[in-house]
Amino acid sequence: MMLEATRPAMTEQSGPLQPVVVAARNGLPGKKDLTVTKAEDGTDWAGLLVRVRDRQDKAAFAQLFRHFAPRVKGFLMKSGAGAALAEECAQDVMATLWQKAHLFDPARASVSTWVYTIARNKRIDALRKDRRAEPEELDWGPEPEPDQAEAMEAQQDTERLGQALAQLPAKQRALIERAFYGDLSHSEIAAETGLPLGTIKSRIRLALDKLRHHMT
Shortest distance (Å) from residue 95 CB to other proteins: 6
Which of 97, 159, 152 lies closest to 122 in space, CA to CA?
97
The b-or-e profile of 7-45 (16+ CB within 10 A means b, else e) is eeeeeeeeeeeeeeeeebeeeeeeeeeeeeeeeeeeeeb
Identify the residue among 69, 106, 150, 153 touching other proteins (CB under 8 A): 69
Judged by CB under 8 A, does residue 2 bind other proteins?
A: no
Judged by CB under 8 A, does residue 26 bind other proteins?
A: no
3-state helix, strand, coil in the chain (%, to 5): 65, 0, 35
Scanning residues 80 to 119, which ones bind other proteins (CB under 8 A)?
A: 83, 86-87, 90-91, 94-95, 98-103, 108-110, 112-117, 119
- DSSP summary character for residue 182: T
Scanning residues 157 to 216, which ones bind other proteins (CB under 8 A)?
A: 157-159, 161-162, 165-166, 176-177, 179-180, 182, 184-187, 189-191, 193, 195, 197-198, 200-202, 204-205, 208-209, 212
For other proteins, which is the closer residue by CB, 170 or 191? 191
Judged by CB under 8 A, does residue 52 bind other proteins?
A: yes
Torsion of CA 196, 44, 115, 60, to 10 degrees: 180
Which of 113, 120, 67 lies closest to 93 in space, CA to CA?
120
Identify the residue among 24, 126, 152, 168 touching other proteins (CB under 8 A): 24
Site size toward other proteins, by CB under 8 A: 101
